[in-house]
């Protein structure tokens, strides 16, 4: 009787999980790729969905289409709820609520990360983050709805509140997003409105550290701050958000406490590993850091379980940042290691990360980049950023579509082609009880229906399941 093929279960269809799956193409294995969404999200360009530049489909191709030519791989849309490391089984919940067990010989967990509010999870209701396609669409609808409200109100104070936008966190995500809000308000929208001058918008960027873009060199930090200020952004350094509600935000800076009336607050200040990392740590006695990432061995395996790998944002290895490149390289490394073991070569060199550099865009024709010891700013950095990001998109159709959409939005029409909202969307976005009225909480993915039902208030509407956290991005990096 023929021997059964080696079973590999990959949890998470982000950069780490997808690259591990691709690396196993043609190998004598059966791969099951499990994810809570049906798409692979290119998270570094997510902010452009929030800004109305790109449609979601260009940066989030369906996982089934991505692996359709890989005959030894299948995709399962389900939520992983538990790991039985003794029986080598992954437990998951399917869309209809039924449980399913997925046996494995090798397990690769690349579940990514989600928002972190540094212990103040109540801020999630007032300052949504941007880690999923749903988050980006929610922010886009909310930003555009605020301009619509400013157009209709006749009270100057109320109009000022609708036109005040606060982004918390000046890492690459915060800088890129606040730059797009500034371009919308000051360059794109002024000619579209009659009763309000959108150039009156007040846009603030808060950062607890002493400089924007903390991972970058001082030269690039200074360039980014100068550029943002020229774009009309108020940069507040050494400033923390200490309280907020649906109408205002209170910050603590060098001059003490200050409260600003603002209808829009966006969180871009931190990430936290998927709860699956802590679940694995409890089962293997592995350590976790403050962000919830699980410590792995030099070959990305878990202590005492050489058949279980953890990669990407949820893994703690050599203090690597939670960005795309470590996840991509770890995924490829793990795929090669699995093939090596099947070929009778169990010993492998430890994972070694090759840092190709980092980059962030600030606005149209403005970006910063550093690679191999060299630093770039302005147009050349902007072109480098565009080339690398297009290169890492999945599929030539998405690459060409992105280049065409950029050309139309940024050069020819100087507009944003994906600004569609409806009355229902706009009225929903400006309602106060957003999380309680159905928007999935951005804090953590739910782990079971029982938990959801037991914690819901009696009069709350049933909340849909949130999308899976993204795999990788706190800064964008070179390819």
Among 23, 125, 176, 207, the one annotated catalytic: 176
Domain 117-269, architecture per CATH? 3-Layer(bba) Sandwich (3.50)
Residues 235-255: tens digit of each pLDDT? 999 999 999 999 999 999 999
CATH 3.50.50.60 fits 6-115+272-342, yes or no: yes
pLDDT at 471 over 50: no
Give per-residue burial for 298-307: e unless 16+ CB within 10 Å, then b. Answer: ebbbbeebeb
Q: What is the pLDDT of residues 85-99, one digit of tens each?
A: 999 999 999 999 999
Residues 6+ positions from 207 with CB-CB distance below 8 Å = 169, 170, 174, 214, 235, 236, 237, 238, 239
Q: What backbone phi and psi angles, to 5 degrees, belong to 373?
A: 85, -5
pLDDT at 468 over 60: no
Q: List where CATH 3.50.50.60 sits in the chain.
A: 6-115+272-342
* Percent of the chain whose pLDDT exceeds 90: 81
Q: Treating both helix axes as pointing N-terminal to C-terminal, what angle do 378-392 and 396-406 enclose, rounded to 10 degrees?
A: 150
Kindly state the helix (H) or strand (E) to which residue 422 belongs, with its residue range.
none
Contact yes or no for 111/310 (Cβ under 8 A): no
Is 200 assigned a catalytic role? no
Mean pLDDT, range 465-476, rounded to an integer: 37
Instruction: Indicate whether 429 pLDDT > 80.
Output: no
Token digits for 276?
């699956």
Which residue has tokens 């998405």?
398
Give the residue ranges of DSSP H helices in 78-155. Answer: 133-152
Q: What DSSP character marks residue 192?
A: G
Match 């089984």 to its residue by tokens: 89
- DSSP conformation letters of 214-272: TTS-HHHHHHHHHHHHHTTEEEE-S-EEEEE-SSEEEEEETTEEEEEE-SEEEE-S-EE
Q: Which one has a higher pLDDT value, 429 or 57?
A: 57
Report the chain's mean pLDDT, rounded to a whole number: 89
Domain boundaries for CATH 3.50.50.100 within the chain: 117-269
Sole residue written with tokens 């959108």: 198
Share of the chain above pLDDT 70, in %: 89
Q: Are strands 358-363 and 366-371 parallel, antiparallel or unpaired?
A: antiparallel
Q: What is the pTM of this model?
A: 0.86
Instruction: Give pLDDT, residue 54.
Output: 96
* Residue 96 token pair: 């209809």
Q: What is the pLDDT of residues 334-370, one digit of tens each?
A: 999 999 999 998 778 999 999 989 999 999 999 999 9
Mean of pLDDT values over 269-298: 95
pLDDT band at 444 (very low <50, low <70, confident <90, very high): very low
Residue 265 scores a pLDDT above 90: yes
pLDDT tens for each residue of 38-68: 999 999 999 999 999 999 999 999 999 999 9
Q: Is 130 helix (H, G, I), strand (E, B) or coil?
A: coil
| Predicted confidence (pLDDT) per residue in 8-32, tens digit | 999 999 999 999 999 999 999 999 9
377-414 pLDDT per residue, tens: 999 999 999 999 999 999 999 999 999 999 999 888 88
How does strand 106-109 pair with strand 305-310?
parallel
If you average pLDDT over residues 219-230, what whole number do you get? 97
User: Long-range pairs for 120-123 at CB < 8 Å and ≥24 separation?
Assistant: 121/443, 123/241, 123/244, 123/267
């Amino acid at each position: 009787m023929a021997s059964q093929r080696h079973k590999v279960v990959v949890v998470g269809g982000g950069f780490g999980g997808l690259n591990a799956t691709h690396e196993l193409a043609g190998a004598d294995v059966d791969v099951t790729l499990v994810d809570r969404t049906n798409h692979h999200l290119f998270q570094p360009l997510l902010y452009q969905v929030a800004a109305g530049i790109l449609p979601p489909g260009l940066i989030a191709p369906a996982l089934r289409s991505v692996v359709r030519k890989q005959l030894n791989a299948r995709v399962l849309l389900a939520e992983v709820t538990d790991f039985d490391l003794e029986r080598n089984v992954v437990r998951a919940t399917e869309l209809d609520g039924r449980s399913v067990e997925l046996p494995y010989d090798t397990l690769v967990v690349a579940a990514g990360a989600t928002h972190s509010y540094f212990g103040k999870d109540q801020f999630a209701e007032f300052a949504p983050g941007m880690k999923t396609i749903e988050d980006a669409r929610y922010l886009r609808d909310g930003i555009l709805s605020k301009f619509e409200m400013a157009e209709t109100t006749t009270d100057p104070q109320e109009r000022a509140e609708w036109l005040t936008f606060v982004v918390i966190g000046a890492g690459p995500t915060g800088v890129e997003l606040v730059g797009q809000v500034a371009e919308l308000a000051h360059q794109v929208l002024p000619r579209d409105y009659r009763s309000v001058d959108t150039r009156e918008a007040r846009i603030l960027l808060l950062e607890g550290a002493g400089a924007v873009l903390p991972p970058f060199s001082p030269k690039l930090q200074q360039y980014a701050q100068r550029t943002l200020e020229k774009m009309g952004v108020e940069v507040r350094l050494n400033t923390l958000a200490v309280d907020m509600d649906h109408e205002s935000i209170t910050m603590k800076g060098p001059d003490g406490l200050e409260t600003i009336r603002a209808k829009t607050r966006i969180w871009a200040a931190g990430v936290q590993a998927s709860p699956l990392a802590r679940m694995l740590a409890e089962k293997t006695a592995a350590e976790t850091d403050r962000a919830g990432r699980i410590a792995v061995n030099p070959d990305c395996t878990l202590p005492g379980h050489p058949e279980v790998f953890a990669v990407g944002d949820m893994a703690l290895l050599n203090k690597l940042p939670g960005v795309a490149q470590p996840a991509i390289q770890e995924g490829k490394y793990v795929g090669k290691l699995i093939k090596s073991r099947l070929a009778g070569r169990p010993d492998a060199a430890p994972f070694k990360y090759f840092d190709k550099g980092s980059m962030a865009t600030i606005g149209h024709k403005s970006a910063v980049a550093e690679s191999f010891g060299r630093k770039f700013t302005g147009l050349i950095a902007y072109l480098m950023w565009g080339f690398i990001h297009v290169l890492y998109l999945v599929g030539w159709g998405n690459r060409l579509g992105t280049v065409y959409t950029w050309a139309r939005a940024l050069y020819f029409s100087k507009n944003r082609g994906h600004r569609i909202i409806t009355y229902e969307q706009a009225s929903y976005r400006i309602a106060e009880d957003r999380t309680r009225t159905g928007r999935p909480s951005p804090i953590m993915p739910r782990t079971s229906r029982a938990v959801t039902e037991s914690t819901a208030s009696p009069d709350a509407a049933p909340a849909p399941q949130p999308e899976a956290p993204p795999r990788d991005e706190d800064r964008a990096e070179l390819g």
